[in-house]
Amino acid sequence: MIPPTDAICHVKLPIAILLLAFSSMTPGAYAQSPVASPPDAGPRAAGPSATPAGTTAGITTTPTPVREAIRERVDRLRYDADPGAQLPEVRGARIVLADGVARYYESSQFEPQWLDPARLDALIAAVAELKYDGLEPVDYHVVELQTFRTDLRGGKTLPPAEQAGLDLLATDSMMLALYHLYFGKVDPEKLSTEWNFPARQLDVQQATERLREAIAAGAIRESFGKARPQHPWYQRARDRLREYYALRDAGGWDQLPVGPVLRPGDSDPRVPALRMRLAVTGDLESSRTATAEAPLPAGGAVAEPARGDGAMPTPPPYDDTVYDAELEAAVKRFQDRHGLTADGIIGAGTFAALNVPVSARIDQIRVNMERARWVMHELKGDFVLVDVAAFDVSWFRNDEPVWSSKVIVGRPYRETPIFKSLITYVVFNPTWTVPPGILVKDKLPILKKDPGYLQRNHIRVIDSRGREVDPYSVNWKAYGPGRLPPYQLRQDPGDDNALGLVKIMFPNRYSVYLHDTPTKSLFDKDERTFSSGCIRVQKAFELAELVLDDPVRWNPDSIADAVAAKATKTVNLARPVPVLILYWTAQPTTDGRVVFRSDVYGRDPPTLAALDRPLQPRR
């Protein structure tokens, strides 16, 4: 599903990168509905019209040395180098969006944009803050821009060629930053061929004017702010990432010695270090005090807490080795944040989560902020969101979840795909037609040995004319991956139906849907990857009631009556509901913490590799 990451900086040229100076654009001007039409290959925008010389509003055309130097540099970007040749450098840096920068200055009559040092200061400050978006400021020429600022503060007058280089480099920096904040740095289509979220569109000519206005007004920070997803989730993620960087800079946390299982009430020399570890991330809010002589856990300094309240965790008394009730509550909080059974028992899984270094948690947050930039501009109104990595489904209203349920998702070798669609109908007492993939991989090996399996599980064999066929009359051994049997296998409605008693349907090419299940015990597992790709919902009837949104006709009593009737019943939704199948391994919560989940499908490493890959100049 995920190809090797030889990919994938999300920079689509030539014209879509003249972007996003949103200082006077509201989010509603460009946000698309979560039910938008199928995607194109990437962000689309109409090409800008050529602007005749001397006609750009507010721009003079009298030649000046700096304007002429800019024109010469633009000519070099445009024409001097053959395709594939290296572009000219500016203090060791290369313009990444060569075509976009050239078009911008051509439409501006080569007017310099960064003569005011205050604008440069604002840009450098805004670029430095990209660190808390999970982006690397060095990708946006911050080091080279700082050398220009140092020269200017030292009283140096830049010659025209140098000022022209500064101008182009600063514009390239701002374009890149706005683009990546709005669209993401990594192209999700290169990570997964199943990506089907629609590309957002921009009027490039309008965006170019907005960019020019933002630079002229010095509204750099404001433009960056409006290019970010406006969803509260994203701002919370920025705040938490800032705190985790502070944790890292203060030394992070020490590794705990792995040993026997720790249970509440135990006395163990690892307990003081455990207290310190949980205090660092705010899971333990202890009122304990200690003398200055109390030793720290071996190998580590005390780091500041993740919650940003400015207080350092107090080292526990050196002889405090009892796993008491206060520590148990902290362990349970930690386990809950990491998708573990919150029982207070510290076994291998909890020790492993405690010993994940702060640098890895930072990268986890960064990866998920990138995923947020891909989709979070579209998260508006009421919608259903399945978080595959967290094994849950939520109903969102006004930007926040108001209902949730555990889910079971696909096995690692039969992954639940990431996509979006519209829920259009609900089926009570559904039948189940065995999909071809499950038929070949799961059912045929059984049927070749035991055709009676079908009757015991209330599965009928149906031919192309709709007639039922005796399973013992079929030579199942004649069929396999290269030759499917000419029959459908259809399971009758009932308590043992693989889909349970209700399924919630949304059109998609993966044959994936939300449904009930007869196997309720699997919801007690921490890691719930047991399906063949579909999504089993623990509280499926509650979700059906939510999406039907008709409390008079469809309430708990009427739904129970429909199920009790034992007849298959299809109910179309009066209003289709968007459903998004996403993958979050780190999420900020409203109480100021971060929830982490295991990367069950191994999707974080390729995304991180692409996010960290240096940008290459593009024509």
Q: How far is CA 74 from CA 28, 109, 618, in A?
A: 34, 11, 14
Q: Which of 216, 237, 232 is nearest to 171 (CA)?
A: 216
Answer yes or no: is pLDDT of 304 > 60.
Answer: no
Answer yes or no: is pLDDT of 278 > 60.
Answer: yes
Q: How far is CA 322 from CA 271, 297, 529, 565, in A?
A: 7, 15, 36, 57
Q: How far is CA 430 from CA 422, 492, 515, in A?
A: 19, 8, 10
Answer yes or no: is pLDDT of 263 > 80.
Answer: yes
Burial state string for 73-91 with b = 16 or more CB within 10 A and e = fewer than 16: bbebbeeeeeeeeebbebe
Helix (H/G/I), strand (E/B), else coil: 564: helix
The full set of domain ranges for the chain reads 22-230, 253-356, 432-492
Angle between helices 98-107 and 65-75 (to 10 degrees): 140
Question: Helix H segments across 409-490?
Answer: 436-438, 444-447, 452-456
Answer yes or no: is pLDDT of 107 > 60.
Answer: yes
355/345 Cα distance (integer angstroms) = 16
Q: Chain-wide mean pLDDT for the chain? A: 85
Structure tokens at 198: 């629609």
Options 3.20.20.70, 1.10.101.10, 1.10.760.10, 3.40.190.10; CATH for 253-356 is 1.10.101.10
Query: For residue 196, what pLDDT is reported?
Result: 82
Q: How confident is the model at residue 158 (pLDDT cuts 50, 70, 90)?
A: very high
139/173 Cα distance (integer angstroms) = 8
Q: Which amino acid is at 614?
A: P
Q: How far is CA 163 from CA 76, 90, 152, 288, 461, in A?
A: 16, 10, 10, 59, 78
**Section 481-505 average pLDDT:** 94
**Section 258-262 average pLDDT:** 93
Q: Which of 11, 14, 20 is nearest to 215 (CA)?
A: 20
**Section 252-265 average pLDDT:** 94
454/468 Cα distance (integer angstroms) = 12
User: H/E element holding 210?
Assistant: helix 204-217
| Percent with pLDDT over 70 in the chain | 83
Query: For residue 298, what pLDDT is reported?
Result: 41
CB–CB of 346/331 below 8 Å? yes
Answer yes or no: is pLDDT of 425 > 70.
Answer: yes
Helix (H/G/I), strand (E/B), else coil: 2: coil
What is the DSSP secondary-structure string of 517-554?
-S-GGGGGSSS-EEESSSEEETTHHHHHHHHH--TTTS
Q: How far is CA 510 from CA 196, 406, 417, 435, 506, in A?
A: 12, 21, 8, 10, 10
Return the C-alpha torsion angle 131, 250, 278, 299, nearest 10. Answer: 130
- Which residues are CB-contacts of 475 (< 8 A; sequence separation ≥ 6)? none
**Section 364-381 average pLDDT:** 93
First to last CA, the chain: 30
Question: How many angstroms separate the most distant Cα atoms in the chain?
Answer: 94
**Section 382-394 average pLDDT:** 96
432/490 Cα distance (integer angstroms) = 5
Give residue-wise pLDDT tens across range 200-221: 777 778 888 889 999 999 999 9
Answer yes or no: is pLDDT of 457 > 70.
Answer: yes
**Section 117-140 average pLDDT:** 97
Q: Which of 25-29, 54-58, 142-146, 297-301 has the highest mean pLDDT?
A: 142-146
Task: List, in sequence order, every residue forming a beta bridge with 459; answer none if it has no partner.
Answer: 491
Q: Name the least confident of 182-186, 189-193, 242-246, 494-498.
A: 189-193
DSSP class of residue 322 equals B
Query: For residue 400, what pLDDT is reported?
Result: 87
Answer yes or no: is pLDDT of 393 > 60.
Answer: yes
520/535 Cα distance (integer angstroms) = 13
Answer yes or no: is pLDDT of 228 > 70.
Answer: yes
Task: Return the higher-pLDDT residue of 465 and 34.
Answer: 465
Query: For residue 334, what pLDDT is reported?
Result: 98
Q: How far is CA 453 from CA 449, 459, 464, in A?
A: 9, 8, 22
120/118 Cα distance (integer angstroms) = 5
**Per-state percent for the chain, helix, strand, coil, to nearest 5:** 40, 15, 45
CB–CB of 77/618 below 8 Å? no
Query: For residue 93, what pLDDT is reported?
Result: 93
Give residue-wise pLDDT tens across range 1-54: 333 333 445 544 434 444 444 433 333 332 333 333 333 333 333 333 333 333
Per residue, the 3-state secondary structure of 158-187, as one string, reads CCHHHHHHHHHHHHHHHHHHHHHHHHCCEC
User: H/E element holding 125?
Assistant: helix 117-128
Q: Which amino acid is at 328?
A: E
Query: For residue 7, what pLDDT is reported?
Result: 43
Q: How far is CA 494 from CA 103, 426, 457, 460, 517, in A?
A: 64, 16, 10, 13, 11
Residue 509, CA atoms < 13 Å, CB-side half-sphere: 7
> Please, what sign has the CA dihedral across residues 526, 588, 247, 322?
negative
Query: For residue 5, what pLDDT is reported?
Result: 34
